[in-house]
Amino acid sequence: GAVVSQHPSRVICKSGTSVKIECRSLDFQATTMFWYRQFPKQSLMLMATSNEGSKATYEQGVEKDKFLINHASLTLSTLTVTSAHPEDSSFYICSARLRETEAFFGQGTRLTVV
């Protein structure tokens, strides 16, 4: 299957700092990428849909100024958690759509804010 690379896999940061997570589709072009958040023992929660060359569409309740999404190219989308707080600690997962029929996930990033 197609490969989506997400980096870093784990990050620990201090409260108040910003963290950038990258999501790359390695062998295909993805016009649409999705960013999810997953709390322990819960389902994936869609945060935003990122379309190449345009502003991301955020789900209700997700602060766009806190979770900055940039989709500058057909193979790269980034999520920046700004002014991180301990409650932002979570598992963040990106997904890139190859066709309407398939979306491939990155490995996920476990963010811990101390």
Partner 1 sequence: GQNIDQPTEMTATEGAIVQINCTYQTSGFNGLFWYQQHAGEAPTFLSYNVLDGLEEKGRFSSFLSRSKGYSYLLLKELQMKDSASYLCAVVDSNYQLIWGAGTKLIIKP
103 binds partner 1 per the rule CB under 8 A? yes
77 binds partner 1 per the rule CB under 8 A? no
Number of residues that bind partner 1 (CB under 8 A): 21
In angstroms, rounded to a whole number, what is the distance separating the alpha carbons of residues 19 and 83?
Answer: 8
107 binds partner 1 per the rule CB under 8 A? yes
Candidate residues 34, 35, 58, 67; the one interacting with partner 1 per rule CB under 8 A:
34
In angstroms, rounded to a whole number, what is the distance separating the alpha carbons of residues 69 and 78?
Answer: 6
The C-alpha angle with vertex 48 and arms to 19 and 38, in degrees rounded to 5, equals: 65
Distance of CA 44 to the CA centre of its chain: 12
Amino acid at the residue 38: Q
In angstroms, rounded to a whole number, what is the distance separating the alpha carbons of residues 58 and 30?
Answer: 18
> Residue for token digits 């790359």?
24
Which of 11-19, 40-48, 65-73, 81-89 is the region at the interface with partner 1 (rule: CB under 8 A)? 40-48
Candidate residues 30, 93, 96, 113; the one interacting with partner 1 per rule CB under 8 A:
93
The site map against partner 1 for 45-74 (x = CB under 8 A) is xx--x-------------------------
Residues that bind partner 1 (CB under 8 A): 1, 6, 34, 42-46, 49, 91, 93, 100-108, 110
